[in-house]
Structure 1
Amino acid sequence: MSEIVSSPVVAPAGAPASRTKRRDIGLKRRYAAERRFRFYGISAIVIGIFFLFLLMYTVVSGGYTAFRQTMITLPIEFTEEIIDPNGERATNPNVLITANYPLLARNALAKELGVDADDRVAMRQVNAMISASARVQLRDLVQADPSIIGRTVDVAILAEANVDSAYKGQIDLAVDEGSRKISDRQVGWIEELSQKGVLAGHFNTGLFVNGASSRPEAAGVGVALIGSLYMMLTVLVLALPIGVAASIYLEEFAPKNRFTDLIEVNINNLAAVPSIVFGLLGLAVFIGFAGMPRSASLVGGLVLTLMTLPTIIIATRAALKAVPPSIRAAALGLGASRMQTIFHHVLPLAMPGILTGTIIGLAQALGETAPLILIGMVAFVAGYPTTPLQPATALPVQIYMWANEAERAFVERTSGAIIILLLFLLVMNVAAILLRRRFERRW
């Protein structure tokens, strides 16, 4: 921004000195006011950027560790005496489901550490280092390939949440042993296993594919991502055509009278209504009156559609207004009908603004939590929903639920999920900018 340089004012011949002095004082005050305004503007930008970086630093510093998970790679002996002692798996497949798989993992870790099996205290501490999700992991391996019984196979199993936190340096080991959830003996075992390469950090794919779990090391946002995807598809399929059609009618065809003015006022007011009100509406109409299932992605999508419609309508009407009247006049002058003028000429030129408004509305809907809580999407859902009518949750709701958990390890999971949500929002907003620049026409 170029500096404003004040030039000395030359008083005309015969002008009173007092008038010249007052004029100089007025100019100095005006230039000083402009400098203050520039300073205030730059200060506001600097403060905003500072708090933005502070927010991002807080989230990233607390959540980047969630993308790494501590694993223990052990030679697991799938002994028949533990899995199927009576040899019934050929006639009773349920034997492979109810077997004591955690015992296999505990014995393998105890053998790796050289712990005596008769030392019950030590064996309990060994067992506490392994995630309870090892039961499901080993069971799935045996069910997928029963021939594994009787063999020894190297398997990477999840470490327990406190072991994972200690390995990442998130637990202060300098405090007294009684004030932390991991003992000195377990700390020594972590160091020993780490030196052997048995215990190491791996990329946490479970964060993206696992569902809800009471064990933080096994919890993931997989179900929440599927639920959010179903809801965004519902919003896109319903809100975009309805919003664009309503905008075209109001802007191009509707007569200007008190009724249409009332509709415009209500649309503008709906855009400012708190999202929790739409949640109450969805609870009363879709669940209470229509009898649709609670916690379903379809219901969440319908609620978010109602909330997104005003944004899309306002953005679409603004895009239609931005098309010069000469386009309409030229098309009508060449013999095009009213419909042909709108759909062949005006609408394509307004498409950049329509797409931008739609993506911004979808990004806003993706981050909503309050209306989804009211329609029951805070349910504990561990399995993937195969249809929008099955119970599911959403990414912002999953963040809300993890933030209320008492386990320390859920703190990094919460920040990690926030990072994933911010990345999705960033991609959607960048897409809106690129689409606008790609299709934008300057007049």
Structure 2
Amino acid sequence: MTNQTLNAIERLAQTKQERLNSKLKKRYAKEKRFKLFGIMSIVIGLSFLAVLIGTIFTAGFSTFFTTEIRLTVNYDAETLGVTDLNDTEQLLYADWGALLRNAIKERFPEVTGRSEKRKLYTLNSSVGEYFLKERLLANPELLNSSEQIWVLADDETDAFMKGQVDRDMPENERRFSDAQIAWIDQLVATGDIRKTFNTQFFTSGDSREPEQAGIRGAMIGSLYTLLVTLLLSFPIGIATAIYLEEFAPKNRLTEIIEVNINNLAAVPSIVFGLLGLAVFINLFHLPRSAPVVGGLVLTLMTLPTIIISSRSSIKAVPPSIREAALGLGASKMQMVLHHVLPLAMPGMLTGTIIGMAQALGETAPLLMIGMVAFIVDVPSTPFDPSTVLPVQVYLWSDLPERAFVAKTSGAIMVLLGFLATMNLFAVFLRKKFERRW
């Protein structure tokens, strides 16, 4: 072989190596760009999530605190128009609001004008008169005597104390007047106004007064709704999964059932609400806006999720477990109940908890069955009219008062807390009982 030929072969090999190196560089560059796009997507997604959560927490944190004013209240029988606290008719027509008005007038005796008095009376909440009524009925010895008590402030006073009202703005551009600001400053100077933990947010039902509105009714309604959903969806879902995976013959009918179960998992939730309205309310005449109906609707929506996750857990159990049980003389039912089901149960519970968390956050199907009504009373049974936390958020978000904006964000924080707890519990169960084969 001549030198010319060898040189040609070397040049050819060198050209091929250069082409290969060029292709490798392009491939490595593509891989780097792909990784970069992936990292950017994650960063952008986390940034939006952080902004969303930060906005909710910033707006809703103030909900967990409320403002109270200390007043000296004189339970004067003549002012009330009450001589006998056991007389129901006298209590019905008693002027409880006069006690509050007199108390705040005594605190600011320099206020004499009619318009100024009206502004003064708005410093404290009108719901304080119900508190005074309950206190006097619980302590009859207070009649015709005085005491110092803390009463709930109005929502505008509360907003000012939380820094949501700019005192430097012109008076005609804010709802809180200069006179009211001066009175608040006096109360601050004497220690007669304070911010305290808002227990009423967790112990009261809904109200048209923002400072009085709470989520107890919605929380109890959510509890009853989820209880009905769990009692129905868990056993039905588990039984369905066991039958389809272990006992059902593999024919066209079971294939159609499996396909429909998978399709139902992707059906919009409002469709289940329409079904519940048509069947449970119009056909079976169950009570409207009741947790039992909400639980039935959410059961239909949750079942596909529980069935699919349960079937996946059963499939994950090794065939050797089944074969060993059957080889030792166990029946097929004994094999399923005593061997397969205990091993698959952690995955089933995880799927059930995730399905229940999804049901807790649903709003659309419950709106269709009337759980959007304004409910003040806390439900005592699953058959009483009620609402749930997501619907309560929807109701408050539509109200014009500024204080309900914070209430909405506060309720969202509570709802997110429940959802996070349920998902963490599902992760805990999976990590604790999961077995790798």
TM-score range, shorter chain: over 0.9
CA distance in 2, matches of 1:45, 1:352: 30
CA distance in 2, matches of 1:257, 1:14: 66
Q: How does 1:415-430 map to 2 (within 5 A)?
A: 415-430=409-424
Matched residue type, 1:127 = Y
Q: Determine which of 97, 109, 131 is the counterpart of 1:114.
A: 109
Map of 2:89 onto structure 1: 94
> What pairs up with 1:393-412 in 2 under 5 angstroms?
393-412=387-406
Post-superposition shift, 1:113? 2.2
1:99 aligned partner, one-letter code:
A
Which of 112, 118, 128 is 1:134 aligned to?
Answer: 128
Alignment partners' CA distance in 2, 1:434 and 1:114 = 62
Residues 1:147 and 2:154 are matched in the alignment: no
1-side partners of 2:267 and 2:320: how far apart? 37
Q: State the match for 2:244 in structure 1.
A: 250
1:301 and 2:300 aligned: no
Whole-Å separation in 1 of the counterparts to 2:187 and 2:299: 52
For residues 352 and 205 of structure 2, the distance between their equivalents in structure 1, rounded to whole angstroms, comes to: 29
Work out the CA distance in 1 between the residues paired with 2:206 and 2:212. Answer: 8
Give the C-alpha shift of residue 146 in structure 1: 2.1
The aligned residue for residue 4 of structure 2 is none
Distance 1:97 1:155 in 2: 23
Q: Distance in 2 between matches of 1:98 and 1:343?
A: 66
Query: d(CA) in 1 for partners of 2:304 and 2:110?
Result: 66
Partner residue in 1 for 2:376: 382
Q: Tell me the TM-score normalized by structure 2.
A: 0.95
Contact 1:96 1:143 (C-alpha < 8 Å) held by counterparts = no
- Pick the aligned partner of 1:124 from 103, 113, 118: 118
C-alpha contact 2:85 2:137 (8 A) present in aligned 1: no
Q: Name the counterpart of 1:324.
A: 318
Q: Which amino acid aligns with 2:90?
A: V
1:342 correspondence with 2:336: yes
Count of matched residue pairs: 429
- Residue range with higher mean Cα deviation, 405-414 or 147-156: 147-156
Asked if 1:291 is matched to 2:285, the reply is: yes
Aligned counterpart, 1:55: 52
SS in 2 for 1:256: coil
Structure 1 position 78 matched with structure 2 position 72 = no
1:416 counterpart SS class: helix
User: CA separation in 1, counterparts of 2:418 and 2:147?
Assistant: 39
The TM-score normalised by the length of structure 1 is 0.94
- RMSD over aligned Cα atoms: 1.4
Q: Deviations over 1:151-188 (max 9, x none)?
A: 21222111111111011111222222122211110011
The residue identity in structure 2 corresponding to 1:39 is L
1:3 equivalent in structure 2: none
Corresponding position of 1:161? 155
Unaligned 5+ residue runs, structure 2? 1-8
Query: 1:124-168, CA deviations, whole angstroms, 9 ceiling, x for partnerless residues?
Result: 111111111112111111222222211212221111111110111
- Counterpart position of 2:29: 32
Using the TM superposition, give the Cα deviation of residue 88 of structure 1 relative to its aligned residue in structure 2, in angstroms.
Answer: 4.1
Q: Which residue of 1 aligns with 2:3?
A: none
**Following TM superposition, by how much is the alpha carbon of 1:13 offset from its aligned partner in structure 2, in angstroms?**
7.3
Using the TM superposition, give the Cα deviation of residue 422 of structure 1 relative to its aligned residue in structure 2, in angstroms: 0.4
Using the TM superposition, give the Cα deviation of residue 15 of structure 1 relative to its aligned residue in structure 2, in angstroms. Answer: 6.0
The answer to whether the Cα contact below 8 Å between 1:115 and 1:123 also exists between their aligned partners in 2 is: no
1:282 to 248, 258, 276: 276
Please state how far the C-alpha of 1:76 moved relative to its aligned partner.
Answer: 1.0
Residue 322 of structure 2 aligns to a residue whose secondary structure is: helix
**Shift of residue 211, structure 1, vs aligned partner:** 0.6
SS for the counterpart of 1:157 is: strand
Question: Residue 80 of structure 2 contacts residue 98 of structure 2 at CA under 8 Å; is this kept in 1?
Answer: no
| Matched letter for residue 192 of structure 1 | Q
CA contact (8 A) 2:124 2:151 kept: yes
Match of 1:262 in 2: 256
In the other structure, the counterpart of 1:200 is 194
Match of 1:103?
Answer: 98
Counterpart Cα distance in 1 of 2:36 and 2:194: 52
Give the residue type in structure 2 aligned to 1:243. Answer: G
- Equivalent pair of 1:97/1:139 in contact (CA under 8 Å): no
Distance 1:217 1:374 in 2: 29
- Structure 1 CA distance for aligned equivalents of residues 110 and 222 of structure 2: 47
Distance 2:336 2:85 in 1: 70
Offset of residue 441 of structure 1: 0.4
Instruction: Give the C-alpha shift of residue 405 in structure 1.
Output: 0.1
Which shifted more, 146-155 or 415-424?
A: 146-155
Could you say which residue in structure 1 is the equivalent of 2:17? Answer: 20
The residue identity in structure 1 corresponding to 2:80 is I
Pair 1:46-2:43 in alignment = yes
Identical aligned pairs, as a percentage?
51
